[in-house]
Chain A
Amino acid sequence: MTEALLELRGLTVDFATDDGVVHAVDGLDLALGRGRTLGLVGESGCGKSVTSLAIMGLLPPENSMVGGQVMFEGRDLLSLDAHLIRDLRGARLAMIFQEPMTSLNPAYTIGDQIIEAIQRHQGLDNAAARARAIEVLKLVRISVPEKRVDDYPHKLSGGMRQRAMIAMALACGPQLLIADEPTTALDVTIQAQILDLMRALRRDTGTAIILITHDLGVVAEMADDVAVMYAGQIVERAAVRDLFARPEHPYTVGLLGSIPRLDERRERLPSIEGRVPDMTRPPAGCRFAARCPFVEPECRAAPPQLIEVAPGHLSRCRRAPLSQVAA
């Protein structure tokens, strides 16, 4: 990997709540090269969405504390002035959200909203911005874009709205696109179309993507690298092929076991028992210990470090590589 586009160094996010401080993200190190796609995987509440909001600087300052460094194109976003970050947001780094049904302002046409993003960053006049809006709508394969540009969001289906959201995010040609569960709210056929679209856009525009999802199937199709998050930490990080071929963390093994497969008949899908630990008081040892089938007393004693078990393959399990563990 050459110079990284985005590098997270020891990123932490704490939330002040009535029950105490929640350590939602706890010392995240991550690097993403230009034009690469990283899948950020984990179950609900593991901190993956919070990580993306922290990168974008969209966490509410009233009750959240972000620490560490977010290096983007050589600058630490966390130490930049608010107005400088706003200049980058939407221009150099953009985001698409999980809920296409509510992420577009119902008071404006989709064209208005795309044009707003374009004019915010590129200073085009109305006609040129409108032409560019139609162009990006065409790019996301919305049919008759010169007509759809004047439609209000309520007239569009969920898939169409997500396309419009992607168009809005891509309008200024960002270097980094963060997609937070972009297909979760869509039905399966539309999911496939949106993923196809994102793949094509990545190929054509060279935008790096952080794809946040709990769906390993999506990751397998889209990502170059995968980072698996559990309880605010990365527990495993590897190239997508290595991760699927040889998962080196029991949590990843569990996630892979929960994917239904056509070539195997099973009565029940295996699931990972238990729940994510209470993040106001994270356990002293391995955070997955309570749910881990391979757990040993030593696991609960001290927190495991992220270790390289094979070239480019990191795991936060003291028993890794797991191939030596008779399962």
Chain B
Amino acid sequence: MTAAAVTPTVPTTDAREENPWARAWRRLKRRKGAMFGLVVVVLFVLVAILAPLISPYDPIATSFTQVRKPPSWAHWLGTDEVGRDVLARIIWGARASLSAGVVSVGIALGIGVPLGLLAGYAGGWIDAVLSRVVDAMLAIPFLILAIALAAFLGPSLTNAMIAIGVTATPVFIRLTRGQTLAAKVEDYVEAARAVGNPHWRIALRHVLPNIVPPLLVQASLAIAGAIIAEAALSFLGLGQQPPAPSWGSMLNSAQRFIAQAPWMAFWPGFAIFFAVLSFNLLGDGLRDALDPRHK
């Protein structure tokens, strides 16, 4: 004890190398679809962050001489009904869409995971009550509930995020609960109890880390769903408010000019499609990479 306490050896890097995350990353790298999704997601994120630097025009500056111009060298993706540059609005709209995806899923994770962990770990009446609430919420179609909540909260991007986040929460409660039920009967949880750990520590340190992979997969797929939901709410006027750009509200204004100015509808639709596809590909890839049954 005395001698050993003086010289704890520094962990070498190669000993840490093969942790579970490093292994998952190695396996993710082998999947083309997932890597494509990851690259596109990163590109979108960079575009959203760097919007002020790379946007060719002010996204809300109107120009009555440049109304509904088709794509040209001056306006690569054309202009809209009040002469705003479509590319600039797509770039700035990425902020609304991505932040809606990330924030609302963040809300859903923040509420859903603790509640699911509680329900699964504690069981009993807590589980019964939470599960019935979840069942009730899941009985209502996702978009209908989101629209109702957003309409109730009032139209704004923030409220749309909250509405989408709350609507996505029951899925995470159910997933976390199910995974917790499976994990809490594992031998290593029993072993953790046998060394005298209190319940909160077992739940947070021994159960939670082992259920992160399916949550991560679900989160990346949910971001895709949330982006679509945000576009739908904005399309209905319940999300991003004009004149601030978002892909959904761009589609809304484009529908009146679909024959005269199809580029107004094509580009935001294409951006939504691409963002959603990428998050889905990434989620599928993560599922395969994190699944211990795939070697």
Contact = CB atoms under 8 A, between A and B. Distances in A.
A56 B190 CA distance: 11
A107 B6 CA distance: 28
A90 B190 CA distance: 12
B126 to A, nearest CB: 13
B141 interface: no
Contact of A58 (B6, B194, B209, B210): B194
Interface in B1-55: 1, 4-9, 11-12, 15-16, 18-20
B255 to A, nearest CB: 49
B12 to A, nearest CB: 7
Contact of A130 (B8, B16, B188, B194): B8
Interface residues on A, range: 35 or more
Interface stretch (A148-156, A260-268, A277-285, A307-315): A148-156
B207 to A, nearest CB: 10
B194 A132 contact: no
Contacts of B174: none
Contacts, number: 101
Contacts of A131: 1, 4-8
A270 B18 CA distance: 49
A105 B206 contact: yes
Contact of B194 (A89, A102, A121, A151): A89
Interface in A182-234: none
Contacts of A103: 187-188, 190-191
A242 interface: no
Interface of A: 56, 58, 62, 83, 86-91, 94-95, 97, 99, 102-109, 116-117, 120-121, 127-128, 130-132, 134-135, 146-147, 150-152, 155, 165, 168-169
11 contacts: A86-B198, A89-B196, A91-B196, A99-B187, A107-B210, A116-B197, A117-B196, A121-B196, A152-B18, A165-B191, A168-B191
What 3 pairs between A and B have smallest CB-CB spacing? A90-B195, A90-B196, A89-B196
